[in-house]
A and B are shown apart, each in its own frame.
Chain A
């Protein structure tokens, strides 16, 4: 099936529900764990691979429902690093399915642009077969400038792997002197995750009745609404989506308060950290002056009143803040451009597989 199925005429009931639902808050970013394809296959006595195909069809359908409702960003958990532990047959089958689907997506270039869909891949794709890497990279590069809707596909992803990658990038930045250790904050850290360009996850849906996150978006879903739906993914219907949005609306107020409080707390901590850094710098300066120059000189010209002193500190903190922000943004630019370069180099490389058998990545 295509990524953009023939638009089915929605019934008057669906249109009515949509209209009523959109009178309340609608999540802007929905994350989905599409669980239950294999159980669906067993239940309907299909082959496992057939279950995965049905799962993909359901994804294409769901994306359309989301767009109709005004959900502009969807993140799906397609393949976890843990999934490499499945039987080689099934892993190969999943890789083949992805190959087909992304090849199909590239054929449907016009439809991508028509729908304005931007596709992003989140995960360590160097673990994937190299031909699939190139397909993914091409899909990312041709859709990069689309703005209307965003589809994030988590491929060879786990949240812990993501956080470790961020820690490596941050540690590397500190080691190279691009940032200071004290610059590491929640803001800096989340801008180093794969989801750095994503909106906050508002609603996380897991199907099949399992009630855990299974290493999916753990940092990002700290303040999201969780909906565990008791239905196998290929059986997921628009009514389940409506129910999940009603659930989101019931939780919206309290989660919003928690988010705001957290944002305020982050700012407070940042101010505290800036002040501490200024104080430390001052301490260093003073001790430097005292040992190098004559200590009498500094005490001679110092006659500021307490108010002036405080003002002085305030302006220094302000100055420090500006310098720090510049430093952090500069660091983030290098991190992001490094990643972008990785993607463009993959997309540009010739798709002739015979040319580079040495590059094929072993699957762990």
Chain B
């Protein structure tokens, strides 16, 4: 009896969530289909100028079972055009990491599509721990540069354990003192080894409300914003999460 009631409550919530999704997200998607190529590099850059605050590192946490590399590639290209310099793309099982070449192909297509002849001005590099440098496109010195890191669960807690091993090694060899193991020093070690600053914003896709192992050292001040799915995501809803980030104030403990 109680179980049935609880199930009923959960079905009702699921229905409510679905209706909310229909009202909030579906119209914007339908709208985008009607006028597909609305964004040009210029329009994106003007959007970027109207933002109150632009994050330099954005994490995309995909907590869904299947992936659309086309939509991931679109988000990467939009981010680069907005002026974001670091991206991390995370899925717990490393599915995206394994398919980095597929993602690369989709990025090239998307770049062509969004930016047209400007695409050579944008330099997008893919990194992952299994392929330190997957692809390096030849960009001119004037080009905008963005590092995209593909991460999975191995890049989470395990990296902290590895750092602990590394520091133990240094301490044993006498080249580092125990008292120097302090948050600010260890943080600079992490930045050096991971090659990116802490993410300021993490956009989480899917209906699991958990970090699922995403960068436990780096998420200290990261703002988390959830979107229902990355599949078929429109530029508008992606931009809205970055606008929302710009509107929040952080107090850093004060």
Identify the A interface with B (CB < 8 A).
19-24, 80-86, 158-161, 163-164, 166-168, 170-175, 181, 184-186, 189, 210-215, 218-219, 221-228, 246-247, 249-251, 254-255, 258, 261-262, 265, 269
Binds A, one of B3-11, B33-41, B102-110, B120-128: B3-11
Contacts of B224 in A (CB 8 A): 211-212, 226, 228
Q: List 29 A-B contacts (CB under 8 A).
A: A20-B5, A83-B253, A85-B253, A86-B254, A160-B183, A167-B168, A171-B171, A171-B178, A174-B168, A174-B169, A175-B171, A184-B165, A212-B220, A212-B250, A214-B221, A215-B221, A218-B217, A218-B219, A219-B157, A221-B216, A222-B211, A222-B212, A223-B213, A228-B224, A250-B207, A251-B207, A251-B208, A254-B208, A265-B153
Q: Which of B10, B157, B221, B250 contacts A186 (CB 8 A)?
A: B157
Residue of A nearest to B244 (CB): A211
Query: Would A163 and B168 count as touching, CB distance under 8 A?
Result: no
Q: Which of A173, A211, A212, A222 contacts B213 (CB 8 A)?
A: A222
Query: Would A221 and B254 count as touching, CB distance under 8 A?
Result: no
Most A-side CB within 10 Å, residue of B158, B172, B209 = B209
Answer whether A167 and B209 are a contact pair too, CB < 8 Å, given A23-B5, A85-B254, A160-B186.
no
Query: Would A212 and B252 count as touching, CB distance under 8 A?
Result: no
B161 within 8 A of A: yes
Contacts of A186 in B (CB 8 A): 157-158, 161
The CA of A251 and the CA of B223, in the complex, are separated in Å by 20
Answer whether A213 and B208 are a contact pair too, CB < 8 Å, given A20-B6, A82-B253, A171-B167.
no
Residue of A nearest to B204 (CB): A226
The CA of A146 and the CA of B215, in the complex, are separated in Å by 35
B182 within 8 A of A: yes
B160 within 8 A of A: yes
Query: Would B187 and A258 count as touching, CB distance under 8 A?
Result: no
User: How many residues of chain B are within 8 Å of chain A by beta carbon?
Assistant: 53
B185–chain A nearest beta-carbon distance, Å: 8
Answer whether A164 and B183 are a contact pair too, CB < 8 Å, given A23-B2, A85-B252, A213-B219.
yes
The CA of A159 and the CA of B220, in the complex, are separated in Å by 8
B73 within 8 A of A: no
B164 within 8 A of A: yes
Answer whether A181 and B213 are a contact pair too, CB < 8 Å, given A164-B182, A171-B178, A218-B220.
no
B13 within 8 A of A: yes
Q: Which of A20, A161, A228 contacts B183 (CB 8 A)?
A: A161
The CA of A181 and the CA of B163, in the complex, are separated in Å by 11
Contacts of B197 in A (CB 8 A): none
Contacts of A226 in B (CB 8 A): 209-211, 224
The CA of A85 and the CA of B224, in the complex, are separated in Å by 25
Q: What 8 A-B pairs have minimum CB-CB distances, sorted nearest first?
A: A82-B253, A23-B2, A160-B183, A174-B168, A171-B168, A171-B171, A23-B3, A23-B6
Query: Would B186 and A214 count as touching, CB distance under 8 A?
Result: no
B15 within 8 A of A: no
The CA of A212 and the CA of B92, in the complex, are separated in Å by 20
Query: Would A171 and B160 count as touching, CB distance under 8 A?
Result: no
Query: Would B168 and A258 count as touching, CB distance under 8 A?
Result: no
Q: Which of A86, A184, A255 contacts B164 (CB 8 A)?
A: A184
The CA of A272 and the CA of B254, in the complex, are separated in Å by 46
Contacts of B63 in A (CB 8 A): 254
Answer whether A86 and B223 are a contact pair too, CB < 8 Å, given A20-B6, A168-B178.
no
Q: Which of A163, A172, A211, A269 contacts B178 (CB 8 A)?
A: A172
Residue of B nearest to A83 (CB): B253
Q: Considering the complex, which residues of chain B in the window 134-178 have a beta carbon less than 8 Å from any beta carbon of chain A?
A: 153, 156-158, 160-161, 163-165, 167-169, 171-172, 178
Chain B 1-45 interface mask (CB, 8 Å, partner A; 1/0): 011011001100110000000000000000000000000000000
The CA of A189 and the CA of B167, in the complex, are separated in Å by 13
The CA of A307 and the CA of B167, in the complex, are separated in Å by 40
Query: Would A219 and B160 count as touching, CB distance under 8 A?
Result: yes
Contacts of A23 in B (CB 8 A): 2-3, 5-6
The CA of A189 and the CA of B164, in the complex, are separated in Å by 8
Contacts of B217 in A (CB 8 A): 160, 163, 218
The CA of A255 and the CA of B209, in the complex, are separated in Å by 9
Contacts of B13 in A (CB 8 A): 246, 250
The CA of A261 and the CA of B169, in the complex, are separated in Å by 30
Answer whether A181 and B9 are a contact pair too, CB < 8 Å, given A85-B252, A159-B220, A164-B183.
no
